[in-house]
């Protein structure tokens, strides 16, 4: 089936068709009411409890797609550290294939993470300019499958023994990373786009109480469940590392490959249910022209002492000088004042991501140095790289608790945890996790029989239980719930409609920034320097937590005010009309 015929089958984004009992908003035809609902007033927003809406069926298809993709990603990447570091079928050693050592394993892991979170930039450009999100995800899924097949075929015993494992791994990493970029940049904004109600409305519950259904909370809920599906998929590493330890690498890689084939089929299966947004053209090229025009015109205005003043009496921002309404010669300008405003909104929202690379540096320790750390400890009858699955297990358990109990409890107390507050708390918990890992590594080094050489050159483990790692993984999981989920939510809600994939890909690119930072730590990502590694990462995260809060603490109040200004409420006098069947 061609992409053109696929496009005819999917439902493009249009005002929703009304069903029985539904009524459109008089000023906003994209919004509608179902029977038993009414538009919220300002009084409702201040007196009634705010809740999230039900998640649309189409969103569950996207959630299932993300589950399958993450099942594959984490299922294969969880084995990379052992696959590269250790020799194949060696006695008294963890499973391995390439025998490249700790530094090569950590370096390749960091490269893979960097590449996987660099490519979403290209995936977003392709989706926004040419294919749209649906077709981009489908196309890059096939590229992803090719990489999985290369990895599986080059991990068979004959290939490993003949030296094909390392080149096969590098080719697979590049191909899988490219596929990841097309999927990751578009699947997260697409899942939120399936919810098409924008204005707050009042719903009466079965117990007779009235609540305000709030889009902001619904999007937050969608991304919480989106992240939950990611971590359920991440549990695949339990199965693949067990197969790796007890059978071999090739069947461990084959399982995620088969699951991703199912992933592509499931995503295609929901094609008639999706809300599909059309590609909007070359945002990147147009943005470059806006920037250059704005800077050029601003410099000229400043030199000629003719700066434009805003409503507050202060000179307007430099980007405003790219607006056609302020340009003396706007003949070759192909954008509107609205596009410039949207671009400024996107830039302002992206500033909040500047501290995220340090957070991802902390998170990356979990898949490389903390795996090696567990290899220096007594793990009993389980493989050392299974320990990292404590993180997704923690998220699966705790995320619904945060969603259903902790966040609503704060709202009821009038202390709503808005995005910057949640991100700050997440950064702080990440710093605590790395501090805990540093302290634990110190105790590993002072415990015999191998001390600071445990796990190297065929050495066994020190006599200390790997169960002591559990609190560190729990802290990492909590930090993800607070910082990573909120970052996804913020990237979607603050990005203009025409730039959601680009802004989301910029947020994902911060993960690549974390991988670049990790390369700087490569020389101390080995024995006997792991205490320093964890301690420096912890201190860096603590410093950036303070910097983040100082720079962005006012964003919560500003964003709440902007959201309220954009929201259209019905006059309170119209509330009585609803009981008579009028809205």
Structural domains for the chain: 46-273+343-566 (1.20.1250.20), 284-335 (no CATH)
Q: How far apart are CA 534 and CA 365, in angstroms?
A: 8
Contact 361, 427 (CB under 8 A): no
Q: Are strands 49-51 and 201-204 parallel, antiparallel or unpaired?
A: unpaired
For residue 308 the two structure tokens come to 């434009």
- What pLDDT is attached to residue 6? 43
Cα–Cα distance list, 46 to 36, 149, 409, 413, 414 (Å): 21, 56, 16, 13, 11
Contact 530, 102 (CB under 8 A): no
Helix (H) or strand (E) holding 50: strand 49-51
Q: Are strands 23-24 and 32-33 parallel, antiparallel or unpaired?
A: antiparallel
Contact 66, 50 (CB under 8 A): no
Q: Which residues contact 259 (CB under 8 A, 6 or more apart)?
A: 68, 71, 72, 75, 236
Q: What is the pLDDT along the chain (583 residues), one digit of tens a residue?
A: 444 444 444 444 444 444 444 555 555 556 778 888 999 998 998 899 999 999 998 999 899 889 999 999 999 998 998 999 999 988 767 889 999 988 899 889 889 989 998 999 899 889 888 889 999 999 999 999 999 999 999 999 999 999 999 999 999 999 999 999 999 889 989 998 999 888 899 999 888 899 999 998 999 999 999 999 999 998 998 899 899 989 999 999 999 999 999 888 888 888 888 988 888 766 777 888 888 889 988 898 888 888 888 777 788 888 989 988 887 666 678 788 888 888 888 888 889 999 999 999 999 898 788 988 998 999 888 878 788 888 989 999 999 999 999 999 998 888 889 999 999 999 999 999 999 999 999 999 999 898 989 887 778 899 999 999 999 999 999 999 999 999 989 988 888 777 888 888 889 899 989 988 988 888 888 889 999 999 999 999 999 999 999 999 998 888 888 777 767 776 654 433 333 332 2
Q: How far apart are CA 100 and CA 166, in angstroms?
A: 9
Q: How far apart are CA 258 and CA 389, in angstroms?
A: 21
3-state secondary structure of 344: helix
Q: Which residues contact 32 (CB under 8 A, 6 or more apart)?
A: 16, 18, 22, 23, 24, 25, 197
Q: How far apart are CA 153 and CA 171, in angstroms?
A: 12
Beta bridge partners of 213: 51, 201
pTM over the 0.85 mark: no
The per-residue b/e assignment along 220-234, b for 16 or more CB within 10 angstroms, e otherwise, is: bbbbbbbbbbbbbbb
- What pLDDT is attached to residue 328? 64
CB count in 10 Å sphere of residue 429: 22
* Cis omega (within 30 of 0) for bond into 449: yes
């Amino acid at each position: 089936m061609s992409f053109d015929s696929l496009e005819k089958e999917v439902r493009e984004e249009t005002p929703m068709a009304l069903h029985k009992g539904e009524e459109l908003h008089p000023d906003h035809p994209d919004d509608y009411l179902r029977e038993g609902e009414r538009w919220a007033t300002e009084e409702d927003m201040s007196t009634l409890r705010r809740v999230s809406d039900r998640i649309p069926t189409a969103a569950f298809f996207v959630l299932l797609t993300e589950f399958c993709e993450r099942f594959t990603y984490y299922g294969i990447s969880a084995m990379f550290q052992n696959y590269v570091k250790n020799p194949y079928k060696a006695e008294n050693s963890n499973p391995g294939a390439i025998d490249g050592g700790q530094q090569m394993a950590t370096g390749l892991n960091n490269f893979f993470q960097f590449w996987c979170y660099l490519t979403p930039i290209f995936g977003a450009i392709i989706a926004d300019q040419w294919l749209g999100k649906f077709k981009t995800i489908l196309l890059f899924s096939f590229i992803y499958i090719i990489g999985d097949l290369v990895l599986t075929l080059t991990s068979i015993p004959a290939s490993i023994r003949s030296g094909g494992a390392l080149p096969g791994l590098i080719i697979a990493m590049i191909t899988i990373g490219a596929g990841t970029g097309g999927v990751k940049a578009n699947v997260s904004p697409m899942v939120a786009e399936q919810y098409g109600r924008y204005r707050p409305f009042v719903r009466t519950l079965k117990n007779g109480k009235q609540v305000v259904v709030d889009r902001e909370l619904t999007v937050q809920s969608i991304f919480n469940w989106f992240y939950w599906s990611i971590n359920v998929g991440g549990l695949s590493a339990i199965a693949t590392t067990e197969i790796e330890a007890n059978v071999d690498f090739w069947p461990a890689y084959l399982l995620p490959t088969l699951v991703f084939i199912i992933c592509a089929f499931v995503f295609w299966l929901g094609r008639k249910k999706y809300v599909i947004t059309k590609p909007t053209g070359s945002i990147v090229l147009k943005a470059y022209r806006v920037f250059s025009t704005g800077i050029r015109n601003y410099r000229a205005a400043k030199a000629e002492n003719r700066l434009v003043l805003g409503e507050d009496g202060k000179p307007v921002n430099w980007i405003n000088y790219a607006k056609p309404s302020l340009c003396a010669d706007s003949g070759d300008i192909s954008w509107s004042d609205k596009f410039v405003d949207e671009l400024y909104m996107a830039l302002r929202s992206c500033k909040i991501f500047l501290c995220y690379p340090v957070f991802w540096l902390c998170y990356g320790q979990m898949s490389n140095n903390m795996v090696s750390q567990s290899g220096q400890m007594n793990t009993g009858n389980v493989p050392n790289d299974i320990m990292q699955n404590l993180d997704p297990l923690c998220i699966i358990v705790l995320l619904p608790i945060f969603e259903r109990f902790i966040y609503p409890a704060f709202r009821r107390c009038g202390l709503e945890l808005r995005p910057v507050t949640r991100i700050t708390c997440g950064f702080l918990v990440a710093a605590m996790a790395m501090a805990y890992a540093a302290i634990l590594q110190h105790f590993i080094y002072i415990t015999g029989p191998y001390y600071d050489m445990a796990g190297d050159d065929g050495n066994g483990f020190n006599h200390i239980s790997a169960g002591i790692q559990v609190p560190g993984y729990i802290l990492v999981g909590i930090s993800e719930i607070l910082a990573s989920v909120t970052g996804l939510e913020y990237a979607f809600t603050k990005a203009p409609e025409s730039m959601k994939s680009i802004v989301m890909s910029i947020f994902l690119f911060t993960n690549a920034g974390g991988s670049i930072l990790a390369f700087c730590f490569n020389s101390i990502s080995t024995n006997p320097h792991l205490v320093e590694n964890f301690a420096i990462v912890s201190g860096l995260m603590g410093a950036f937590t303070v910097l983040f809060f100082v720079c962005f603490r006012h964003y919560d109040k500003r964003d709440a005010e902007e959201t309220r200004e954009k929201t259209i409420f019905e006059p309170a006098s119209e509330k009585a009309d609803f009981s008579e069947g009028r809205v």
